Structures are given as structure tokens and as C-alpha cells.
Amino acid sequence: MFSTKEMPSLSSLFSAIASITASIMFLQSMVYQILPHQVRHYLISILHNLIFKTHTPTLITFVFDKDNEFGGLNQIYKAAGVYLQTLRCPGNKRLKVSKSLKEKGLIIRLETGEKVTDSYDGMEFRWRYVCSKSEEDSDSPGRGGGSKRQCYELSFHNEDEGKVCDSYIHFVLDRAKAISEERRFLKMHTYSPSSGMNWQSVNLEHPATFETVAMDVKKKNNIMEDLNRFVKRKEFYKKVGRAWKRGYLLYGPPGTGKSSLVAAMANHLKFDIYDLQLANVRRDSELRRLLLATGNRSILVIEDIDCSVNLPDRLHGEKEKKSDPQNDKNSINGTSLTLSGLLNFIDGLWSSCGDERIIIFTTNHKERLDPALLRPGRMDVHIHMGYCTYEAFKQLASNYLEISGDHHHLYREIQGLLEETEVTPAQVAEEMMKDEDAESALEGLVDLLKQKKMKGDECDHAKADEKKWQIC
């Protein structure tokens, strides 16, 4: 078995082992003679733990059944199913693949008996999915009920048990939540009384993101930071006794990107949108019912707040009530929709009934808004969406025509024209879509800007002439 060369080294190894064994036996006999029985026992148990615990750790297995004891769905089972979709082992042979209308992409899960490994914070884990006939059924095979027991098994070193309970399982729950959020289709909810008394929802697949919205970069970053801070501040809002909500007022001319920004905010936060047309709501009680039916982590949008409905303001409403007691049309608890009803609800009970609420009003005419809507503390952030600047133009050119930087020979001319004309990002974007060739598209834009400039100049002359006549 061994070569002749190996023989001397092996024989010296055996003689070394023999002398070590003899020394251990000698020490053992000394220990037996010197130490009392209890101390001996204690030392041996420590030695045993040292040798066996470090070299042959025992595994422990947690079993997460699908159903919890009270009949509901075990949240850890559900989270494990989502989280394990991100893990794969080279040895996996059978995987279940499905598609859901509520989620983007394919859902790939483990088939029964399949295992995957994971590591976290220096610990090693083995997960296994098990689907078997439930014990009750196998006890009485004649019944043929076919009910299944489904579970995930998580095996790990028993010394990690504390860390698994305190940290790893929470990590799995959090990751599963984030993965589900990432995968689910956002929803857009709308309301019209003709289609029933509740919100109707469709998948929100608006492509606008913070990358595609063209606006001042600093302003854009401020909005993103504000949103990120808001979603992280649950404890802060609780501490200062405020409802966890934030109000944004987006104002500016038509076609400057207000609706696009709303969609970008929803995509950024992964929040559903509730798009409320006030013209469809007839009274405060209806508004209250609708708002109470909105979900957490959502954005309530009321577009064109200045013109969607003629909301009587507080003072106005009070005056009318006094002058005509029969007329309860504008009362808070009456039958019609009032501005105070809207504001009360937004500031008060509604926002404290849920978490992570964002409310956005948009308008083309900030100056026409009721002062009650504008007073400090009501809409936390006012965002002006203006005419197309050179910076916004460059972003649009990068998005639509894939021109990066500002080296194009027409850019200087365009910059000058943009400073002298009022053109919306929507108009600029439309010009860029007219031609796939960047050069031709930009030439088209230059023509448009020149025409606008000429019209603007003519208008200025006409206004100046009008003034002259008035003076005469």
C-alpha cells in the first residue's frame, strides 16, 4: 500500500503518537490522583465541549409552515417564498415557474425537496422547500382529502440560533418586502360616480422617472432628497406628534411636466396614485368616504385645483350660510363639497388614519388659489415647473436624441433663443420626436424657437402700440 520511501516517515509518526498517548495517560493518572472528583468532571466537560462543539457543530432546523396556528398565512413562510426567489444553487433541478397579473417578471420558486444555501453575517444557512401530504391524511388514506403540508425548512449551526431569531429572520422579512415592492405593478386609482361608488384601479405603467423629467438638476435632487427623507422619518413624525404626510404644490404653465413629475415621484417611491377629479365629487361625505378608502404608501393627486371645481372658501361659505340659513350647500357638514371640507380632512382625521401619505395639488395658476391652501404648513413644498431652460433642453436632447454634453454646433444658438422665448418642455419634446435624425430635429427646434421669438416681438410691439393709443 505504501511506497518504500514513505515507510520511515510513517514509522516515526507512529512512534510520536505512541509517546504522546503515553504522556496523556501519565497526565491523566496524575490528574486522577491529585484532583477531586467534581473538579475532574468539570474539566472533562469543558474539554469535551471544546473538542466536539468546535469541530462537529450540531445543526438545528426551523420549520416555517404555510399556515400559522390560527389558520392565517404564516408571514415568515410567505417572506421566505419571496426571498428565496433571489437564491439559486448549481444543484437545483426542479423549479416552479409562474406569472401573476399583479407582478412584473416571472415568479420562480423551489420545487419540493429543492435546497438553496445562503450566508449572512458570517453564518451559513440551508433552506429547503417541502410539500407533503398532511399527517392527518396519511393516517386515514381512504379519505383521499389530498390536503398538503407546505413548509420551508431553515437549517443552521445551533450556536447561531440567537442571531437567526434576532437578526436573520428580520432581514428575510425586510428583503421580501422590498422585493415584492420592486416587482409589483403600481396602481392608478380613479373615481367616477358613474362607475360605482368606489375607486377603480388600473396598472400604472407611466414611464416618467426622475431621469426623464427635464428640470433644474438642483431642484430635482432637492425633491428626491425630500421624498427619501420623508419615507425614512416614521419615528420623527411620531415623536413630534404629526401625521406622517407631506403636501406638494406643483404649479406652472401647461406642458411643463407637472403630471410627469407626479408619475416620477410615484415610480421613485413605489407608491400607488389616487387621482381625484374634484368635479366628480359632489359632497363632503362622498369625499370623506373616498379618502378613507385610500391605502397607505400612496399619493393623492388633485390636478388643476384652481379650475376643477368652484370650491367655496371658508369665509365665503360662512357668509353665505349666515345670509341664507336655508342654504346649507356650503356648510362643512352639509351636503355639498367645500374647500374647508377638503382641507379639514387632509390636515386632520384622514391623514392621521394612515401612514406615508403624500398629497399633491397641481395648478396652472397659483395666484388664483385660495389663501387657505397656500398658508404655511398646509402644502409643505411648493415646486415651480417653468418654461424650458437650456439645462432642461440638454436633458431632453439626451433622452430623446441621445446627444450627451453640450458640444453640438446648434446648441449655442438654441441657448440664446431659449433665453428670449417662452417654450414649454412639452413643445421642445414634440419637436425632438418629429425626426429620428438629431441634426434635423434640432434644426426643426431652431425654426420653432425663431417663429416664437418673432411672434413674441410682434406681440410686444402691439402691446406698446396699444399703450400709446391709451395714453393718447
Out of 213, 281, 305, 311, the residue judged to bind ligand ATP by CB under 6 A: 213
Among 187, 227, 245, 259, binds ligand ATP (CB under 6 A): 259
- In contact, 328 and 318? CB cutoff 8 Å: no
Piece of the chain touching ligand ATP by CB under 6 A; list 192-200, 250-258, 274-282, 405-413:
250-258
Nearer to ligand ATP, 417 or 429 (CB): 429
> Exposure of 188 by Cβ count < 10 A (0-12 exposed, 13-18 middle, 19+ buried)?
buried
Contact 365, 400 (CB under 8 A): no
Interacting residues with Mg ion between 254 and 313 (CB under 5 A) = 258-259
Task: Give the whole-angstrom CA distance, residue 442 versus residue 289.
Answer: 50
Least Å distance between CB 408 and ligand ATP? 19
Cβ-based neighbour number of residue 329 at 10 Å? 16
Which residues make beta-bridge pairs with 115?
128
By CB under 6 A, residue 215 contacts ligand ATP:
yes
> Stretches 121-129, 167-175, 211-219, 443-451: which one binds ligand ATP (CB under 6 A)?
211-219
- Interface with Mg ion in residues 30-89 (CB under 5 A): none
Q: Are 285 and 332 in contact (CB under 8 A)?
A: no
Q: Which of 294, 330, 336, 364 binds ligand ATP (CB under 6 A)?
A: 364
Q: According to the binding rule CB under 5 A, does residue 363 interact with Mg ion?
A: no
Scan residues 399-438 and list those touching ligand ATP (CB under 6 A): 425-426, 429
| Binding residue for ligand ATP, selected from 256, 298, 336, 338, defined by CB under 6 A | 256
**Helix ranges, 99-139 (H):** 135-139
Which is nearer to Mg ion, 271 or 361 (by Cβ)? 361
Residue closest to ligand ATP, measured at CB: 257
CB of 392 to ligand ATP, least distance (A): 6
CA distances from residue 322 to 288, 315, 429 in whole angstroms, order as listed:
25, 11, 52
- In angstroms, what is the minimal distance from the CB of 381 to ligand ATP? 16
Residue with cell 387632509: 346
Q: From the list ligand ATP, Mg ion, none, which binds 429 (C-beta under 5 to 8 Å, kind-based)?
A: ligand ATP
Which residue among 76, 116, 214, 358 contacts ligand ATP (CB under 6 A)?
214
Q: How far is the CB of 393 from ligand ATP (least distance, A)?
A: 10
Helices (H), 233-355: 234-239, 258-269, 284-292, 314-323, 339-347, 349-353
Nearer of residues 342 and 396 to ligand ATP, judged by Cβ = 396
Sheet of 59-65: strands edge to edge? Answer: 59-65, 148-157, 123-133, 115-120
> Is there binding between residue 267 and ligand ATP (CB under 6 A)?
no
Give the binding range for ligand ATP (CB under 6 A) out of 15-23, 66-74, 132-140, 252-260: 252-260
| Torsion sign (Cα): 329, 334, 338, 339 | positive
Return the closest-CA partner of residue 77 out of 63, 68, 64, 86: 64
* 67 Cβ contact partners less than 8 Å away, ≥ 6 residues apart: 73, 74
Site for ligand ATP in 48-107 (CB under 6 A): none
Binding site for ligand ATP (CB under 6 A): 212-215, 254-260, 364, 385, 425-426, 429
Binding site for Mg ion (CB under 5 A): 258-259
